[in-house]
Amino acid sequence: MFKLNTKRNIFLSAFICVLFISLIIVTSIKIRGNLVSQTTSPTTSSKEETTMKEAISIAYTKVKELSPDAKLAKIISTDARVEPSAESGANGTRAVWNVTFTDTKSNAEYNIFVSCGKAEVFEDKNKVVRKAISDSDIKIDSTDAIKIAKEQKELKPGIPNKDFAIGYHFNIYYAPLNGAASDKLIMQVIGISPNGNFAHVNIDASNGNIIDSSEKTYDENGKAIWTPF
């Protein structure tokens, strides 16, 4: 009985950890977007949307000018610069991405802003070094992830002036899952559940399998609850 309870506690702890990370990431979509919008002018030219992998490639070209040893640490789509719509991300592409790189040799972090296919340095500060993501571990792209999320979980897009995040958003990060010995590389698709709630689908970036999916609901006291769907 003790062993069963221990495994159950490990699973619950890992599940809570992933949900907490997801909340931070979703908030980052808005914060990053707002910060960049305040420091840069809106893009008025025709937008050029890119997939997650395309954005990473574009950002790499820029960051190598600053640090040849920089490695990918995080990438997340944002609502900045280009006015998003419910169709944003529907085919796995977004106009704007924030790509973070880490350099373990210099203990530096670089944030590259990819907007309409062009890259620029958003900020360059010394911070706590993040775990680098191996490019070879990313076997799928956001175009694959959106198909999986829509076909298998019927994920819907966020609606302007109604939902927190507009269209579909994407990010990738390492997270502990189900008591595994090592962290899983997750590609996350953010949108609206079939029940009309804010939701996300976590996909194993190495094989395209869905790990879990959760939607945000509230109890009678107004407390947020994340439940599987």
What is the pTM for the complete model shown?
A: 0.78
Q: Which residue has the higher pLDDT, 46 or 184?
A: 184
Instruction: List the Cα angle 69/173/104 in 5-degree steps.
Output: 25
User: Would you say 29 and 76 are in contact if contact means Cβ atoms under 8 Å apart?
Assistant: yes
Q: Say what the pLDDT of residue 182 is.
A: 75
Q: What is the pLDDT of residues 121-131, one digit of tens each?
A: 976 565 666 78
Stretch 12-34: mean pLDDT: 48
Instruction: List the Cα angle 25/183/173 in 5-degree steps.
Output: 25
**Beta carbons within 8 Å of 197's beta carbon, 6+ residues apart:** 215, 216, 217, 229
12 CA to centre of own chain: 22
Least-confidence region, from 28-42, 129-143, 163-177, 208-222: 28-42
User: Would you say 190 and 165 are in contact if contact means Cβ atoms under 8 Å apart?
Assistant: yes
Q: Say what the pLDDT of residue 22 is.
A: 52
The torsion angles phi and psi of 79, rounded to 5 degrees, stand at -100, 15
User: Would you say 217 and 198 are in contact if contact means Cβ atoms under 8 Å apart?
Assistant: no
| The pLDDT of residue 23 is above 60 | no
Task: Kindly indicate the confidence band of residue 107, based on its pLDDT and cuts at 50, 70 and 90.
Answer: confident
Name which of 58, 47, 36, 24 is nearest 122 in CA terms.
36
Name which of 77, 62, 79 is nearest 141 in CA terms.
77
Distance of alpha carbon 65 from alpha carbon 124, whole angstroms = 13
Provide the H-helix boundaries in the chain.
2-39, 52-63, 142-153
Instruction: Give the number of other Cβ atoms within 10 Å of residue 150's Cβ.
Output: 18
Helices (H) and strands (E) in the chain, counts: 3, 9
Q: What is the pLDDT of residues 36-95, one digit of tens each?
A: 444 443 333 345 899 999 999 999 999 999 999 999 999 999 988 788 899 999 999 999
Structure tokens at 169: 């958003």
Q: Say what the pLDDT of residue 80 is.
A: 82
The residue type found at 38 is: Q
Q: Helix, strand, or coil here: 173?
A: strand
Enter the DSSP assignment of 137: G
